[in-house]
Structure 1
Amino acid sequence: MPHHWFAAKVWRYRVAGLMAILAVTSLLILVGTHLLQRSRKKTPTPPVVFLKTHKTGSSTVQNLLFRLGEKEGATFAFPSYSYQFSYPDKFKAEFVDELPKHSSHFDILCSHMRLDVEELKQLMPSNTIYITILRDPVQTFESVFSYYTVSVPAFLSAKKVAVTTEYRSALSVFLESPESFWDPEDPENGLGKNPMSFDLGLDSQHWNTSWSVLQETFHLVMITEHFDESLVLLGAMLKLELEDLAYVRLNTRSSNNVSPLDETTKARIRAWNSLDVLLYDFFLQVFREKSEQYGLERLRRDVAQLRASTDRIRWKCVARKEVPPGELEDLIRPWQSYSVTILGYHVKTNLTKQEQGFCMRLILPELQYHAHLYFQQYGRVMRPVPTE
């Protein structure tokens, strides 16, 4: 099996991961085994595939789907190894772990993958709802570069050059001559150009006709810059309650790691990521059309209700936000990139056991929640990526 860079790096910290799993298990014992007991919905949520794009706010959406699936006893389609579906290879049904004996089909797939529509349709039921999320390409690329500076070879090469110069960031060095750093034949460079197009399975170098397939496949393409509006449309599609749509922003960087961008830098990012710009602009227009179909006044009213409900839940749950990783226990410490600091949350202590269970899940980082749900579904810890 080919080497998968991100998954392999995660599993360098396997011991810490196992400690996190044990911490999750201890938490569950502490707060009881029936924290999430509620009456099931009269109308079950249809199966969902969420294509989790990089650095677009997708971890926040994934957490929402994790909570929804756990509450409803859904069967998750998890990777056979680690946290991703053999990324950056394109998705194959064979990358998915076995269907549990008690299940007739998978209900939710929301782990990182590189899209292959036909392979997904082989795996998921015919009534599956397909969703993804896109973000302004300038902000996406800045975040991708910052987060993966030492993981993407092209970015790392630029960083090495930047170290030898004064007052120049790795990002500015890269954007001055990106072709000199970027090798399109290296699969580990996939996120180095048009990262959203790459995640969507497109050729990141050339325009092609796959966009019509994407438009036909995805029932909703969420837009990060219209996140709450996107959640309202998602909630209407899946018939979710306001509490189901509550969120805190996960996997956020320290402000010290966010690069200010002047107009020249923004223009260079757009030029280097021209396919992502076209992709984003296209689906932004599609999103606006869906918003109009929903009704703009209705949408504004429902967004206001969502924000009021979410604010109440955050006030109830969150004692402190933007907590540095050194002040977080293993259970709630986000995975740390080599190049940026990822912040987390502290939950209030004056909660009932049921409230604590809900609030902990609201702020639980991606890897810990993934590991917990995997163990809950299969009764075993996740397998590391094979080294050969």
Structure 2
Amino acid sequence: SLFSSLDAQGPPLGSCRPHNHVMFLKTHKTASSTVLNMLYRFGEERDLHFALPLGYQLGYPLPFNAHRVKGYRGPRAMEFHIMGNHMRFNKPEVEKVMPADTFYFSIIRDPVALAESSFAYYKEVAPAFRKAKGLGDFADDPKKYYDPRLRNNHYARNLLWFDFGLDHNANFSLALARRGEAMIRRAFKLILVSEYFDQSMVLLRHALCWPLDAVVSFSLNARGRSQAKAPPNLSLTEEQREKLREWNALDWHLYKAFNRTFWEEVDRFGRAQMEQEVALLRTRREVLARVCLRDGGKPVEAYRIRDKAIRPFQSGLVKILGYELQPGLDNATRQACLRMIRPEIQYKDLLDAKQSHPSLPMVPFAF
């Protein structure tokens, strides 16, 4: 079958053993839903145990607490393999849930692009964004709109810093920024960069010793095409972009520091080798898109997806797109394709049902 062919394995990885204990800090608006889908697929195919939230997030935006994990009964009462739902990172509590040999990784994004995405997605949720006409107005004078005491305003300032468990309202100083950076370096083995997603997947595959298909994905939780070019209330001047970097100075420091590290990793890996493997990854994605997806694999608006069980959840000003499966697939191929396009919320419900009642046949949950 297509999914058990040699192509599915990808270039050889030497004699490493696949990591089964993985913790992914799912940061906001960084392509992290696509990464979580890969973790869900890998674990589901191998019957691994997920540290799932009681709801859909692990207590976010409060700092993570081990008791937020469904079925957690104290350290080591049960082996959890994979953790990756939204949380505000809190390492001592994560260590109560995850085994000592867990591989920790996360993903970051340029703070200006992140602010654009956050503004579009959380406009109605974050008071600071709700008050501003457009992102440009907010960028011109963030302090006019921003009150640190109001709930959900963390989406409007140093969101990465916040997700990593640090104080996002602290005044910027280089010493503070370096301390936060050092804390993240100690806790995480690998920090991916959303702007270099495919290169990130190659590094991740080698770090985890996973087959190629485990890191091939279709972009999930993406915004509508007409909106991918910034709508008028999102367009920014260069001066406003600079102001957003200042406003998110702690995130900007992290982005520059981990971007440098990322390219050092790529150099160690070998640039020529990286180009080859990225090309393979992209070719494989195209092959799977042709097999799995209707309409040549273009994402479509949710209301046009006939199967309600795979319609993505909608939030904010932008339409979140999803996919339609190619009709007439054989059962095994259909199941493998379905895993690649199943939206995060439905996938979590499915895994939850599987873990709560391992003996029950799986019936997909329909919204």
Q: How does the TM-score come out when normalised to structure 1?
A: 0.81
Distance 1:73 1:46 in 2: 11
Distance 1:304 1:257 in 2: 28
Task: Tell me, yes or no, if structure 1 residue 51 matches structure 2 residue 25.
Answer: yes
Residue 206 of structure 2: aligned partner:
236
Residue 96 of structure 1: aligned partner:
69
Question: What is the one-letter code of the residue matched to 2:56?
Answer: Y
Task: Tell me, yes or no, if structure 1 residue 336 matches structure 2 residue 311.
Answer: no
DSSP-derived class of the 2:355 partner? helix
Whether the 8 Å CA contact 1:196–1:276 is kept in 2: the answer is yes
Return the offset for 1:267.
1.7
- Match for residue 307 of structure 1 among 279, 282, 296: 282
State the Cα deviation string for residues 199-225 of structure 1 (Å, max 9, x = none). Answer: 111111334323212101111101111
Query: Per the alignment, do residues 232 and 215 of structure 1 end up closer, same or farther by CA in structure 2, a change over 3 Å counting?
Result: same
- Match for residue 332 of structure 2 among 354, 359, 381: 354
Distance 2:18 2:260 in 1: 31
- Match for residue 68 of structure 1 among 42, 45, 51: 42
Return the offset for 1:262.
3.0
- Match for residue 174 of structure 1 among 138, 156, 169: 138
Residues 236-315 of structure 1 mapped to structure 2, 5 A cutoff: 236-258=206-228, 259=230, 260-315=235-290
Distance 1:182 1:90 in 2: 22
Residue 108 of structure 1: aligned partner:
82
Whether the 8 Å CA contact 2:199–2:274 is kept in 1: the answer is yes
Whether the 8 Å CA contact 1:334–1:342 is kept in 2: the answer is yes
Residue 348 of structure 2: aligned partner:
370
Whether the 8 Å CA contact 1:52–1:62 is kept in 2: the answer is yes
Gapped runs of 5+ residues in structure 1? Answer: 1-35, 163-169, 381-388
DSSP-derived class of the 2:57 partner? coil
Distance 1:37 1:229 in 2: 23
Matched-pair identity in %:
36
Task: Tell me, yes or no, if structure 1 residue 220 matches structure 2 residue 190.
Answer: yes
Q: How many residues align?
A: 331
Distance 2:227 2:57 in 1: 25
Residue 110 of structure 2: aligned partner:
136
- Match for residue 153 of structure 1 among 123, 127, 134: 127
Superposed CA RMSD: 2.2
DSSP-derived class of the 1:204 partner? coil
Return the offset for 1:43.
4.1
- Please, which moves more after superposition, 204-213 or 188-197? 204-213
Question: What is the one-letter code of the residue matched to 1:326?
Answer: Y
Whether the 8 Å CA contact 2:72–2:97 is kept in 1: the answer is no
Distance 1:118 1:210 in 2: 16
Distance 1:199 1:172 in 2: 24
- Match for residue 147 of structure 2 among 183, 194, 218: 183
Query: Per the alignment, do residues 117 and 85 of structure 1 end up closer, same or farther by CA in structure 2, a change over 3 Å counting?
Result: same
- Please, which moves more after superposition, 204-213 or 65-74? 204-213
Q: How does the TM-score come out when normalised to structure 2?
A: 0.85
Whether the 8 Å CA contact 1:229–1:299 is kept in 2: the answer is yes
Question: What is the one-letter code of the residue matched to 2:338?
Answer: M
Whether the 8 Å CA contact 1:99–1:105 is kept in 2: the answer is no
Return the offset for 1:248.
0.4
Residue 323 of structure 2: aligned partner:
345
Distance 1:244 1:369 in 2: 16
Whether the 8 Å CA contact 2:64–2:88 is kept in 1: the answer is yes
Question: What is the one-letter code of the residue matched to 2:255?
Answer: Y
Whether the 8 Å CA contact 2:48–2:81 is kept in 1: the answer is yes
- Please, which moves more after superposition, 361-370 or 184-193? 184-193
DSSP-derived class of the 2:104 partner? strand
Whether the 8 Å CA contact 1:175–1:268 is kept in 2: the answer is yes
State the Cα deviation string for residues 249-285 of structure 1 (Å, max 9, x = none). Answer: 0101113434243323322221211111111001011
Question: What is the one-letter code of the residue matched to 1:155?
Answer: F
Distance 2:356 2:239 in 1: 51
Distance 2:226 2:280 in 1: 33
Residue 165 of structure 1: aligned partner:
none
